[in-house]
Chain A
Amino acid sequence: MEESASSIVQLSHVYLDYIQDNQPGATVVEDISLSIKRGEKFVIIGPSGCGKTTLIKAIGGFLKPRRGEVLVNHQLVRQPGPDRAFVFQDFEQLFAWRTVLENVVYALRVTKHLSRREAVAKARFYLELVEVAAAADKYPHMLSGGMKQRAALARALALEPDILLMDEPFGALDAITRNQLQLELNEIWKRTGVTIVLVTHSIEEAVFLGHRVLVMSSSPAQIREIVETSQAEDLDSPAFADLTKHLHSLLIRHKTPLNPPAEPITGEIKALELSTVE
């Protein structure tokens, strides 16, 4: 492939099993091949339970493919590592027993073996960047959800990873905080140029943040389509509306099969959120 020179992540014919309690379960990801470019913002979207989290965990090295290969920097992924810094949805990702600053300092000390002074300086830089410096000396439980996610993002960025892996990082936040953080993530990407792989179930978030959006189908999880969305950063542009509509049709179409569903659909189906559709 001509794109392989600039690609940072390569998946070739990857099959992933869903693993719970060390018991291999059903195959959730089947035969996925794709390539993510260095410096790209790559978004994975799909209905709940479609295996998008499983996929990003495989890139992170938390899961081994049953078949196929996951390459990062042309090297086979064997285990997790700080070159692929992970930001989770869960607020509990910060160490409760360390202040915000110490969370970042600790991560830097153990991964980069910096002196304490260097680590503190670097940590403060990234806390400033993500605008959480005011909370540097607070313990995580004292922070709002948005501030916790900022701190986690600062810690991940401070590792200066090759790839920032984000698994629904704003999923548990209120809409206003979420929009604010989406804006800022774009700004941070412009300043750092870090490769971002982001999992979401929000179509707007996907179109707004992504250069490309991988739309997954569920059971088995396969690539439905990879949509180019880099031209749609302006929320009011016609391109944004068109892409949103396109993703919407891709994701919702397969939720209404020709034969009527066995169980009645309960709950209101929101226009742009898929979380209520199982």
Chain B
Amino acid sequence: MSLGLSEPVVQSQASASKVRTVPKWLIYVLIGAGFILLWQLYISFGNVSPLLLASPLATAQQLFTDLRNGQLPGATEVSLQNLAIGLGFGILIGLILASLSTFSRPGRYLLTVLTAVFSPLPGIAILPLAMLWFGLSPSAIIAVVVFGAIWPISANTETGFRTIGATTRMVALNLGLSRIQTIRDVFLPAALPHIISGLRLAWAFGWRTVVGAEIVFGVAGSSGGLGWYINNASYFLNPPAIFAGLVVISALGVLLDTLFQWIERQTIVKWGMKQAH
């Protein structure tokens, strides 16, 4: 009796410890592989028109072809460039607004009103206006990304600045730091956990906006980009290319998120300002 009862317990403990030793990334890869398998099975036995749904194999082939012939790398470069330039300006303006808001009362009122009015506007909703002002050019896309990045960055940075402890502020005063030194050497690093949160929001917002705007531009957009690539593939009834474009967009998102995690490990996790996960 006792043996029969104790055996399952021992077994479940053993399996639990086994789960713990399997690396997380392997679990993620297995889940992904499972989905790809289901996808391929559906194509193989589901009698689906290849004009509506590409198979994983066809997608992989298209991905490989367009990576080698330079179409996808070129489109990726265009999209990432628009994102990077837009984020760069957005970060700069966001940080300046947050600093003004922290160090002057009119600045705080200004930021409160601007954030309240502008942050609910989706980037895509701004696009028609940007197109009117800048034409079907990368400038229009960049303008929308800048617009979208400013609010999460300035609002988060401002929160980060405002929650800096009284002791930290007094140390900065005690050292007789100039205003510039205080912002650069004390406020920015002290607020970094909040700033990184703002950056994560801003890039996710910007990435969606870039791809969306490129699709809105459609074939008329001469500059290219991943949204343009997908739109083109749809126009020419090429599902494998649509899927290949989606794979690249998603993969870049995962990559950028990994980059942010790496930045966090090198900074706020190392400094004990955020727990590692």
Give residues in A with beta carbon < 8 Å to B: 60-62, 79-82, 84-86, 88, 90, 92-93, 95-97, 106-107, 110-111, 139-142
With A81-B174, A86-B170 already in contact, the answer to whether A97 and B271 are too (CB < 8 A) is yes
Query: CB-CB contacts of B218-246 with A at 8 A, as 1s and 0s?
Result: 00000000000000000000000000000
When the two chains form their complex, are residues B186 and A90 in contact, meaning their CB atoms are under 8 A apart? no
- With known contacts A88-B170, A140-B272, A97–B175 Cβ distance under 8 A: no
User: Are the C-beta atoms of B168 and A93 separated by less than 8 Å?
Assistant: yes
Partner among A61, A90, A139 whose Cβ is within 8 Å of the Cβ of B165: A90
Residue contact A110 to B175, C-beta cutoff 8 Å: yes
Q: In the assembly, what is the distance between CA of A93 and CA of B168, in Å?
A: 6
**Chain B: which residue is nearest A61 at the CB level?**
B173
CA distance A80 to B182 in the complex (A): 14
Q: Which residues of B contact A82 (CB under 8 A)?
A: 174-176
A-B CB contacts (within 8 Å), total count: 64
| Contact A62 B165, CB 8 Å, known A95-B186, A95-B189, A110-B175 | no
Contact of B174 with A86 in the complex, beta carbons under 8 Å: yes
Verify A85–B168 contact, CB threshold 8 A: no
Interface of B toward A, CB cutoff 8 Å: 165, 167-168, 170-171, 173-177, 181, 185-186, 189-190, 192, 267, 270-273
Contact B174 A139 (CB under 8 A): no
B272 and A142 contact, CB distance less than 8 A: yes
CB-nearest residue of chain B to A141: B272
Assuming the A-B contacts A90-B165, A92-B165, A95-B186, are A62 and B272 also in contact, with contact meaning beta carbons closer than 8 angstroms in the complex?
no
Residues from chain A with a CB closer than 8 A to the CB of B176 are 79-82, 110-111
Complex CA gap A86/B270 in Å reads: 27
CB distance from B199 to the nearest CB of A (A): 17
What is the bound-complex CA distance between A110 and B186, given in angstroms?
12
Contact between chains at B189 and A62 (CB < 8 Å): no
In the assembly, what is the distance between CA of A253 and CA of B168, in Å?
37
CB neighbours (8 Å) of A60 from chain B are 174
Interchain CB contact under 8 A, A110 and B270: no
Contacts of B186 in A (CB 8 A): 95
The 5 sampled A-B contact pairs (Cβ below 8 Å) are A80-B173, A81-B176, A93-B171, A96-B189, A96-B272
Complex contacts, B175 vs chain A, CB 8 Å: 82, 107, 110-111
In this complex, what residue of B is CB-closest to A107?
B175
Query: Would B271 and A80 count as touching, CB distance under 8 A?
Result: no
Whether B174 lies near A80 (C-beta < 8 A) is yes
Q: Looking at A86, A96, A142, which has the most chain B CB atoms within 10 Å of its CB?
A: A96
Q: What A residues does B167 contact at CB under 8 A?
A: 88, 90, 92-93
Nearest Cβ on chain A to B102's Cβ, whole angstroms: 14
Residues of B within 8 A of A84 (CB): 174
Contacts of A142 in B (CB 8 A): 272
In the complex the two chains form, what is the Cα distance from A54 to B176 in whole Å?
20
20 additional A-B pairs beyond A95-B171, A96-B272, beta carbons within 8 Å, are: A60-B174, A80-B173, A80-B174, A80-B176, A81-B174, A82-B174, A82-B175, A82-B176, A86-B174, A92-B168, A95-B186, A96-B189, A96-B190, A96-B273, A97-B189, A107-B175, A110-B177, A110-B185, A139-B271, A141-B272
